[in-house]
């Protein structure tokens, strides 16, 4: 060890590492969703990853709620909707009662391998 290193103080700083497992991509995609009552509602996804979505719901949804979701997107000239079971993992805590849209994060709980592959291809096309 060099002489000047003996008395050196450790350096401290702030580093912002991405904690997500999958990269997120900005999107503007419509989706349909249903609770167990089978009433179909519509929402909008603002970003997407292989693990989940940032979405806007037209109604307040509870954290922990499972939903059947159908996400609509096009890939080239093909229309490729995917279907998945999602779970609401967070909701925006700054919601006002008079807001028309409710921001939330959902994670994929059950998605078929074929639909996951469609999603991967779509997201890969966004990074090109």
CA distance 26 to 30: 13
Tokens encoding 101: 């849209």
Q: Are 52 and 89 in contact (CB under 8 A)?
A: yes
pLDDT at position 94, please?
63
Threshold 0.95, pTM exceeds: no
Confidence band for 18, pLDDT divided at 50, 70 and 90: very low
Domains and CATH numbers, the chain: 22-126 (2.40.10.220)
CA distance 115 to 87: 17
């Amino acid at each position: 060890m060099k002489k000047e290193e003996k008395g050196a103080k450790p350096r401290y700083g702030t580093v912002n590492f991405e904690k997500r497992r999958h990269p997120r991509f900005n999107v503007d995609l419509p989706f349909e969703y249903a609770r167990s009552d089978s009433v179909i509602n519509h929402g909008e996804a603002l970003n997407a990853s292989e693990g989940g979505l940032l979405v806007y719901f037209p109604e307040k949804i509870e954290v922990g709620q499972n939903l059947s979701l159908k996400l609509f997107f096009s890939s080239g000239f093909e229309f490729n909707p995917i279907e998945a079971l999602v779970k609401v993992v967070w909701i925006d805590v700054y919601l006002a009662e008079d807001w028309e849209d409710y921001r939330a994060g959902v994670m994929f709980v059950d998605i078929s391998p074929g639909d996951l592959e469609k999603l991967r291809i779509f997201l890969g096309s966004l990074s090109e």
